């Protein structure tokens, strides 16, 4: 049973009041003794050169995901999905490094809760693709639906076509790259990370964003509350060039024309403090 340990006074000199928990089981999620130290303790040992195939034809999502897990358990580090047929909730909860190649399109909630894998999709994806992604890379060759990359915390999420509305809603980190246009309310309540849209952006771009950066290559219909333009620096241009080149999405006219949008930090709930400053105050 957990309890409060009041013997520690580490923060009192700074005016903080802390009571660390004692007697509580803490799971070791990462081992610094391992090479890299970033893999979950339960991550399976897979061989990237061992390739497995899942034919999704006439199968339910659960059946497909179970087949994927069976292949992972048997050491397959690269899995190819054929005939996905825009089915929902495929490739979810993969928490380690490996490769997926999807020959076709996925439906809603595809590639949710990923933490590490590299996914390449030759078709399109539906709503809420890669929701809550922590790490890894997802590349979609065609278009994507709304809420693309909702609440992602890390990794690179790439759509070479256009995406729907509310792209990167609640984005907390990572990078979203879009080759075409994005719809209304993109970057809504964005908190961290970067979003790059080579085409146009719909209305209310970056509405209520707390932090993070949005780069738009085309026209912006209008900005949301508390989203403001900022100067595009040489560092920004270098970063944009590197990222867009990496995914073969560099526009013909380069990156100088991109508009940079950041948080105005005027929201009633925003105190203008950086997170490190907040920790000190709180």
Residues that bind another protein (CB under 8 A): 85-88, 104-105, 107-108, 122-124, 126-127, 142-143, 145-146, 161-162, 164-166, 183-185, 202-203
- 78: tokens are 């690269």
Tell me whether residue 59 or residue 76 sits nearer to another protein (CB atom): 59
Tell me whether residue 176 or residue 255 sits nearer to another protein (CB atom): 176
Tell me whether residue 104 or residue 218 sits nearer to another protein (CB atom): 104
Tell me whether residue 107 or residue 212 sits nearer to another protein (CB atom): 107
How far is it, in rounded angstroms, from Cα 267 to Cα 127?
A: 29
User: Alpha-carbon torsion 94, 97, 99, 102, what sign?
Assistant: positive
Radius of gyration of the chain (CA): 21
Strand order in the sheet with 47-55: 47-55, 76-82, 99-103, 115-121, 135-140, 156-159, 172-178, 192-197, 213-216, 259-263, 227-230
Tell me whether residue 107 or residue 187 sits nearer to another protein (CB atom): 107
Shortest Cβ distance from residue 105 to another protein (Å)?
A: 7
Shortest Cβ distance from residue 166 to another protein (Å)?
A: 8
Shortest Cβ distance from residue 164 to another protein (Å)?
A: 4
Tell me whether residue 132 or residue 186 sits nearer to another protein (CB atom): 186
Shortest Cβ distance from residue 233 to another protein (Å)?
A: 31
Shortest Cβ distance from residue 210 to another protein (Å)?
A: 21
How far is it, in rounded angstroms, from Cα 73 to Cα 185?
A: 40
Shortest Cβ distance from residue 129 to another protein (Å)?
A: 12
User: Up-side HSE of residue 49: CA atoms within 13 Å toward CB?
Assistant: 0
Produce one character per residue of 204-213: b if its CB has 16 or more CB atoms within 10 Å, e if not.
Answer: bbbbbbbbbb
Q: Among 105, 70, 73, which residue's Cα sits nearest to residue 90?
A: 105
């Amino acid at each position: 049973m957990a309890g409060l340990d009041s013997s520690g006074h580490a923060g009192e000199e700074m005016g903080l009041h802390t009571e660390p928990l004692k007697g509580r089981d803490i799971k070791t999620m990462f081992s610094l003794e391992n090479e890299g130290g970033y893999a979950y303790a339960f991550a399976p040992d897979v061989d990237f050169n061992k390739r497995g195939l899942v034919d999704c034809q006439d199968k339910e999502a659960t059946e497909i995901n179970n087949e994927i897990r069976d292949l992972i358990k048997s050491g397959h580090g690269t899995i190819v999905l054929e005939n996905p047929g825009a089915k929902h909730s495929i490739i979810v909860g993969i928490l380690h490094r490996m490769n997926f190649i999807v020959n076709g399109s996925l439906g809603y909630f595809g590639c949710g809760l990923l933490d590490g894998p590299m996914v390449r999709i030759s078709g399109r994806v539906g709503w809420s693709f890669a929701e809550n992604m922590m790490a890894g890379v997802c590349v979609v060759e065609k278009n994507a639906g709304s809420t693309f990359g909702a609440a992602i915390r890390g990794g690179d999420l790439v759509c070479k076509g256009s995406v729907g509305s509310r792209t990167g809603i609640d984005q907390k980190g990572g990078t979203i790259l879009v080759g075409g246009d994005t719809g209304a309310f993109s970057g809504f309540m964005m908190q961290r990370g970067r979003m790059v849209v080579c085409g146009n952006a719909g209305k209310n771009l970056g509405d209520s964003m707390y932090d993070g950066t949005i780069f738009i290559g085309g026209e912006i219909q209008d900005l949301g509350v508390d989203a403001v333009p900022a100067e595009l620096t040489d560092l920004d241009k270098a970063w944009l060039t590197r990222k867009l080149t990496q995914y073969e999405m560099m526009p013909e006219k380069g990156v100088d024309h991109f508009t940079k949008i950041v948080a105005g930090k005027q929201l009633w709930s925003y105190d203008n403090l950086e997170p490190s400053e907040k920790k000190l105050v709180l």
